[in-house]
Amino acid sequence: MKAGAVTPGQRYSARLIEMALPSVELGEVMVRVREVGIDGTDIEISGGRYGESPSGQDFLILGHEALGEIEDSGNAKFKKGELVVPIVRRPDSCVNCLNGQYDMCLEGNYKECGIKGLHGFAREHISENPKFLVMVPASLRSIAVLTEPMSIVTKGIDQAIEFHHRYSNPVQVALVLGAGSLGLLATAFLRVQNFNTYTLDIVPKSSLKGQLVEALGATYLNGASLSIPELPEQIGNLDIIVEATGNSTVAFQAMTALGRNGILCLMGVSTGNKPLEICADCLDMEMVLGNKVVFGTVSSNRSHFERAVELLASIERNWPQWLSKLITRRLRIDEFTDALHPTPDNIKTVIQLL
């Protein structure tokens, strides 16, 4: 079968390879992969910045956002043709992992398909333990490849809302920084909650990103001509901010802009080592006197995947066809290396496996 692979730590190593079908171990089911989404993590791994091959091998199959179809199942729970999404992170033996909260792993010996120590899903078949497969209704087939990124958004924003429930005042303003796929899914989540939502990026309002934000009843802000710390003067007390740019300067500007009792959810990852000069006293004082919360969020577990499926259905009901517009590029597995070079206006590339 065909697979999209890299040599971790080596730039420009992305390539299409031929490999044998996986063997199905006892208790596993064979899944035919139908679609694989590409994100910034895949692009960074292919740029040699991180990634880890499975033990004893010198290559890593990429892809951690996938939609598959049960092909062969000795398991009564699954029928041939049913749609499933595989979970990415696999537990170690820490107390959180043993309780199914492997997204909150304490020891760091977890593995992640397509990222750390396990092959990913950019291949025609995978064999999988059903406890790492989440069922998806056929009605969501065209957009279910977005389940994994939606699970990341779900975990982060559900926590932010939970923190906000510490007190009585309703959410007046929610702000999303970045209108990539995570930022747009976050905007949709906040709009499902009916929050007054603003989403900022640096492309014009007339762009597809701007149009997608406004189609949800949120307001698009062009960050190219706006200062984030001055946003509260224009749009009010920022109760919830979701940082989805992965730019650490933006993250610190967001801390300054955060309102009284505000919650800042850091979802983007910055992988460089850029220094930044800040007024530490000012920030510390504002955080304390404003009862502010800043938290980071990474990965997701089975409960977040299941909730993500419900949320995708809810978004699809509220704004039919909106989610499918996030998939701006569909390529074949033969075009695997092209998939890792998106154009600047691209939102989500999906590899389709026939």
Which is nearer to Zn ion, 155 or 191 (by Cβ)?
155
Which is nearer to Zn ion, 199 or 301 (by Cβ)?
301
Which is nearer to Zn ion, 16 or 104 (by Cβ)?
104
Which span sits near Zn ion by CB under 5 A: 60-68, 86-94, 295-303, 327-335?
Answer: 86-94
Q: Cβ atoms within 10 A of the Cβ of 202, count?
A: 15
Residues 89-108 that bind Zn ion (CB under 5 A): 92, 94, 97, 105, 107
Instruction: Give how many residues touch Zn ion by CB under 5 A.
Output: 5
Biggest CA pair distance of the chain: 62
First to last CA, the chain: 12
Alpha helices by DSSP H, the chain: 40-46, 95-98, 147-164, 181-192, 208-215, 231-235, 248-257, 280-289, 302-318, 336-339
Smallest gap, in angstroms, from Cβ of residue 193 to Zn ion? Answer: 31
Q: What contacts 21, CB < 8 A, 6 or more positions away?
A: 1, 125
Smallest gap, in angstroms, from Cβ of residue 270 to Zn ion? Answer: 24
Smallest gap, in angstroms, from Cβ of residue 303 to Zn ion? Answer: 16
Which is nearer to Zn ion, 98 or 279 (by Cβ)?
98
Smallest gap, in angstroms, from Cβ of residue 90 to Zn ion? Answer: 10
138 DSSP 8-state letter: G
Burial environment of residue 345 by CB neighbours within 10 A (0 to 12, 13 to 18, 19 or more): exposed
Query: Hey, what amino acid is at 164?
Result: H
d(CA 46, CA 15): 10
Q: Is 350 in the site for Zn ion (CB under 5 A)?
A: no
Q: Is 61 in the site for Zn ion (CB under 5 A)?
A: no
Residue pair 262/160 in contact by the 8 Å Cβ criterion: no
Smallest gap, in angstroms, from Cβ of residue 40 to Zn ion? Answer: 24
Smallest gap, in angstroms, from Cβ of residue 101 to Zn ion? Answer: 8
Residue pair 244/182 in contact by the 8 Å Cβ criterion: yes
Take residue 122 and report the two structure tokens written for it. Answer: 């950019």
Smallest gap, in angstroms, from Cβ of residue 305 to Zn ion? Answer: 18
Which is nearer to Zn ion, 92 or 158 (by Cβ)?
92
Which is nearer to Zn ion, 107 or 284 (by Cβ)?
107
Residues 285-324 that bind Zn ion (CB under 5 A): none
Interface map 160-199 toward Zn ion (x if CB under 5 A): ----------------------------------------
Residue pair 254/229 in contact by the 8 Å Cβ criterion: no
Return residues touching Zn ion (CB under 5 A).
92, 94, 97, 105, 107
